Structure 1
Amino acid sequence: MQTVGGMTELEYAFLFALKKVNSLELGDFQPFYNNLPVDPYIKGNYRRRRLSRFIVTGNQLIKLPHGYLFQSKDYNPLLGDVKREFAELDDALIELDSFRSLVLAFSDSCKLHPEAEIGVHQIRTTCSPESFGNPAPEGIHQDGTDFIGIFSVDRDNIQGGETHLYTAKKEKPVLSKILYPGELLLVNDHDFYHFTTPIKPQIATQGIRDVFVLTSPSLLTD
């Protein structure tokens, strides 16, 4: 068995996992990426974003009141200690069976407590021939949560956008993977740093990378 960083791939499987979520209709999500508001906290207008938080009760999602995203500078040197506010996810998106299945897949895979709070970030990163898009402008980082899920919804006309996991910032990545539509990467945030490389178009027109990022705890405050 291949060894990475002194640990076997099997041992690493307890710390991160890549899975294909086959029960989702990815096309259900597409209309909801076309009306995302621009992320006002990032220069360049290349990132669009919404954010809501939930708990799972049985097989149902309970949406929690609006909150503010907050991370310390220890985790986010670019926007740490800033109370950030984003528009809520579209109600029609939340009602989709595919959306519920995605959140349940994250909760079940991470074996979350039934009352654990889950933050769901809906993010589109764009690029053009004149400007690259940067999915992780804060660089190699941790989020300051317990578990992270990165779910790929769409990649259109882009190169790059490769997700890396590291055991330390100055080490080589133990995982380098382009996440293709339908793939969900689950990460223990205590054990890994993560980063996604910039994107650029394959041909001279706009390119997009659409993802959901799920975290538990949600990192949202009232």
Structure 2
Amino acid sequence: MVLEKLFHPIYLFSVEDFDISPITFCSNIASYFYQLSWDNYLHRQNQIAYLQKSLTQRQNTRLSNEFWYYFFQGKIPYSDFKPIYQDLSPIQQKEFDSIQPNRRRAVSAYLLSFHNNQWISEQISVPGYNQNQAKVINHDQLDYRLATRFFPELPSHFVNDDLFCLLEGIAIFIRSKLGCCQLKITVHHNQTIARPGSFASNAPEGIHQDGQDLIVSALVVERKNLTGGKSIIFGADKTTCIVEKTLYSGEGILQPDLNTDLWHTVEATYSADGNNEGYRSTIGFDIEIIK
């Protein structure tokens, strides 16, 4: 479904639209997400959120934004962190120590060129990833996505024909709307884990823009023992909901992002039964129009 009447159209799709079987596509790769490395950046961001909530105002004012950026990037030596940890009460120290990673992640990138009436895909390296044009609605909020991050590259067994078919299908669709002939697509394989008594978020920055020409904010591969995770797109006032959709296996949303009045987020996820972990495995696409 394409919401064509919007100034910036939004496309809700299934991989079936690109002649890919949703059942085959998802079942072939669902197990791979459990093998991905932990996203240590999000883990540290969750630790930062706990520290900022737990430390006194006076203790917080001693710590600059630069300090938190370095902490997020894993560049703060333990000798500098130890006094902060010691400012916590014994109960707070125990709670801090119990914060676990809750997202697995890998990244890959592809250059797609339209030549001789067909799209040619070439995998390229990802030396570092940043979103230097990303935005959040609260200008006073630190947006850690502006920092350069280094994620493990996608294992080779993830890079299969279905992925290239999907990339080509997205490129064909974009060309039909915009006439472009070269794209760079950065692909993010993510799995968030919602543990009993807690929640997981794939958008800790809240309502935001990613700073990319176009995005697939999420193509869902698997939802397992999970509630929540609704994708929401807002208009220019950042409060009027344009699209509200819980995506299931094989479903995704393609939308313009950079220099538009569209903002988006995804709701937190929770364990459905309250006793076992819940999982949401997704693929995200950052799409840069080169020409």
TM-score calculated relative to the size of structure 1: 0.86
Q: Distance in 2 between matches of 1:131 and 1:60?
A: 44
Q: Does 1:67 align with 2:132?
A: no
Change (3 A) 1:37 1:169: farther
Q: Report SS of the residue matched to 1:105.
A: helix
Unaligned runs of 5+ in 1: 1-8
Superposed, 1:54-203 pairs within 5 Å as 54-57=110-113, 58-72=118-132, 75=135, 77-94=142-159, 96-111=160-175, 113-149=180-216, 150-168=218-236, 170-189=238-257, 190-203=260-273
Shift, 1:13, TM fit: 8.5
Shift, 1:21, TM fit: 1.4
Shift, 1:101, TM fit: 1.6
Is this contact kept in 2: 1:135–1:196, CA < 8 A? yes
Shift, 1:78, TM fit: 2.9
Q: Distance in 2 between matches of 1:90 and 1:31?
A: 13
Number of residue pairs aligned between Structure 1 and Structure 2: 209
Q: Letter of the 1:159 partner, please give it.
A: T
**Which has the larger share of helix?**
2
Write out per-residue CA displacement over residues 151-209 of structure 1, whole angstroms, 9 at most, x where no aligned residue: 11111111000000011354221111001111121111134111000000111201000
Q: Distance in 1 between matches of 2:172 and 2:252?
A: 13
CA RMSD of aligned residues (A): 2.0
Shift, 1:75, TM fit: 2.0
Q: Letter of the 1:135 partner, please give it.
A: N
**Which has the larger share of strand?**
1
Q: Distance in 2 between matches of 1:14 and 1:80?
A: 24
Q: Report SS of the residue matched to 1:38.
A: coil
Write out per-residue CA displacement over residues 22-51 of structure 1, whole angstroms, 9 at most, x where no aligned residue: 214211111321211111111241111001
Is this contact kept in 1: 2:133–2:210, CA < 8 A? no
Is this contact kept in 2: 1:49–1:123, CA < 8 A? yes
Q: Distance in 2 between matches of 1:51 and 1:45?
A: 18
Q: Distance in 2 between matches of 1:10 and 1:145?
A: 20
Q: Distance in 2 between matches of 1:169 and 1:80?
A: 22
Percent identity (aligned): 25
Q: Report SS of the residue matched to 2:210.
A: coil
Q: Distance in 2 between matches of 1:169 and 1:158?
A: 30
Structure 1 counterpart of 2:13, from 9, 14, 19: 19
Q: Does 1:45 align with 2:101?
A: yes
Write out per-residue CA displacement over residues 52-74 of structure 1, whole angstroms, 9 at most, x where no aligned residue: 11012444421112321112375
Q: Letter of the 2:144 partner, please give it.
A: L
Change (3 A) 1:18 1:147: same
Q: Distance in 2 between matches of 1:74 and 1:28?
A: 33
Change (3 A) 1:169 1:85: farther
